[in-house]
Amino acid sequence: MSDTVTRAEPAAPTGSATAPAPTESAIAQMPLAKAVNAGLRQAMANDPRVLLMGEDIGPLGGVFRVTEGLQAEFGPRRVLDTPLAESGIVGTAIGLAMRGYRPVCEIQFDGFIFPGFDQITSQLAKMTNRHEGQVQMPVVIRVPYGGHIGAVEHHQESPEAYFAHTPGLRLVSPSTPNDAFWMIQEAIASNDPVMFFEPKSRYWHKGPVDLSGSAAPLHSSRVVRTGTEVTLVGHGAMVTVMLQAAELAAAEGTSVEVIDLRSLSPIDYGPIVASVQKTGRLIVASEAPGFVSVSSEIAATVTEMAFYSLEAPVLRVTGFDAPFPAAKLETVYLPDADRILEAVDRSMAY
Catalytic residues: 155
CA 167 to chain centre: 17
Rounded Cα–Cα distance for residues 323 and 314 (Å): 25
Rounded Cα–Cα distance for residues 80 and 53 (Å): 5
Rounded Cα–Cα distance for residues 326 and 247 (Å): 30
- Cβ contacts of residue 258 below 8 Å, gap of 6+? 223, 224, 225, 227, 231, 232, 239, 242, 243, 246
CA dist 332 to 12, 31, 246, 285, 335, Å?
47, 27, 20, 15, 8
Rounded Cα–Cα distance for residues 328 and 156 (Å): 12
Q: What is the DSSP letter of 229?
A: S
Task: Report cis status (omega within 30 of 0) of the bond before 13.
Answer: yes
- Kindly give the pairing relationship between strand 170-172 and strand 263-265: antiparallel
